[in-house]
């Protein structure tokens, strides 16, 4: 029977960087999850960003929900760009590029392999600060912009992992 795994910061950093060998990933997938993963992961990510706002939750690749000194919780890119309150949809505060013609689709997909823009468009959301493509939606025209994730941060910290929320030093 597999034991509950335990990994150090170096291993989690390698996981984040995508440099682990497959047998190592397979071992992580097959083992019982390490309960302390979240804290180590959060620390590794915090060490990597250039700003000091404590990360409450990694929210997506490059995106974090961070704690501000005034008590606000906001969505922030690792480049430093601050989007909005974490209850809002950050995409509404991003820059958008919509592929709604065959020509624009053909920049990404060969002929016949893209969505037909009459049926479906591709919306690309970029960070206004670093121009990273943070999310892509493939939806029919008119579709409301999707608010992907509304985490219950307080329940997560207080009742699930039973750890204090990171605070501004």
Partner 1 sequence: MAKTLTGVQKKKRGIGWDGKTLKEMRKEITEISKETGHYAGLKTLPFKESDPIRFEKIYSKLRGGVVHARETAKKVAASPIVEQEGELCFSLYTPEADSIVTSTGIIIHVGTMGAAIKFMIENDYEDNPGIADKDIFCNNDNHVGNVHTCDVHTLVPIFWEGEVVGWAGGVTHVIDTGASAPGSMPMGPVQRYDDGYQVTCRKIGQNDVLSKDWLLESTRSVRAVKYWTLDEKTRIAGCHMIRDLVLDVIKEEGVDAYKQFMREIIEDGRRGFVNQVKTMLIPGKYRQASFVDVPFKDLDLPSFAKLNTIIHTPSEITVHKDAQFEIDFEGANRWGWHPFNATPVSITSGIWVMLSQTLVPNDRINDGAYYASKFGIPYGSWFNPDDIRSAHSNTWHALVAAWSPLWRGLSRSYYGRGYLEEVNAGNAHTSNWLMGGGYDQYGQLSAMNSFETSSCGVGASAVQDGISHSAALWNPEGDMGDMEIWEILEPLIFLGRQILPGSGGAGKYRGGNGWQSLRLGWGAEEWTMFVAGAGVMATDCGLMGGYPASAGYRFQANKTNIKERIEKGLPIPLGGDVDPDHPTYEENMDAEVVYRDRQAVSTQEQFGDYDVIMNYLRGGPGFGDPLERNPKQVEEDLNEKYILLRYAEQVYGCVFTEKNGVYTVDLQATEQKRKQIRKERLDRSQPTKEWMKGERKQILNENAAIQVKHMYAQSFALSEKFTNEFKSFWNIPEEWMIYEDDLGVPTLGSRINRFKQKKKQ
**Near partner 1 in 83-112, by CB under 8 A:** 91-98, 106-112
The only residue of 13, 57, 66, 75 in contact with partner 1, by rule CB under 8 A = 57
CB nearer partner 1, residue 18 or residue 71: 18
Greatest extent of the chain over all pairs of C-alpha atoms, in Å:
55
DSSP structural state of residue 12: H
What backbone phi and psi angles, to 5 degrees, belong to 27? Answer: -65, -40
Of 69 and 96, which CB lies nearer to partner 1 in the complex structure? 96
Cβ atoms of residues 119 and 152 within 8 Å:
no
Query: For residues 27 and 36, what is the distance between their CA atoms, to the nearest angstrom?
Result: 17
In our burial notation (b when 16+ CB lie closer than 10 A, e otherwise), range 110-125 reads eeeebbebeebbbbbb
5 sits near partner 1 (criterion: CB under 8 A): no
* 69 versus 146: smaller Cβ distance to partner 1: 146
Closest CB to partner 1 among residues 68, 139: 139
Closest CA to 63 of 135, 10, 122: 135
Applying the rule CB under 8 A, the residues between 20 and 39 that interact with partner 1 are: 20, 22, 25, 28-30, 33, 35, 37-38
CB of 166 to partner 1, least distance (A): 14
**148 binds partner 1 per the rule CB under 8 A:** yes
Q: How far apart are CA 67 and CA 10, in angstroms?
A: 26
Concatenated DSSP letters of 3-44: PBP---HHHHHHHHHT-S-HHHHHHHHHSBPPTTHHHHHHHH
Stretch that binds partner 1, among 46-54, 70-78, 132-140 (CB under 8 A): 132-140
* Shortest CB 101 distance to partner 1, Å: 13
CB nearer to partner 1: pick between 70 and 159? 159
Judged by CB under 8 A, which of 8, 155, 167, 169 binds partner 1? 155
């Amino acid at each position: 029977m597999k034991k509950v795994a335990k990994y150090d910061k170096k291993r989690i950093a390698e996981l984040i960087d995508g440099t682990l060998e497959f047998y190592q990933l397979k071992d992580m997938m097959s083992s019982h999850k390490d309960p302390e993963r979240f804290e180590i992961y959060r620390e590794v990510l915090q060490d990597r960003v250039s700003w000091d706002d404590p990360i409450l939750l990694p929210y997506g690749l490059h995106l974090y929900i961070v704690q501000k000194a005034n008590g606000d919780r906001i969505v922030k890119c690792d480049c430093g760009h601050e989007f909005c309150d974490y209850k809002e949809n950050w995409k509404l505060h991003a820059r958008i590029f919509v592929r709604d013609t065959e020509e624009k689709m053909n920049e990404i997909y060969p002929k016949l392999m893209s969505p037909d823009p009459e049926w479906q468009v591709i919306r690309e959301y970029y960070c206004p600060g670093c121009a990273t493509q943070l999310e892509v939606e493939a939806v029919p025209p008119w579709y409301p912009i999707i608010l992907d994730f509304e985490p219950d941060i307080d329940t997560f910290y207080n009742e699930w992992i039973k750890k204090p929320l990171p605070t501004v030093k």
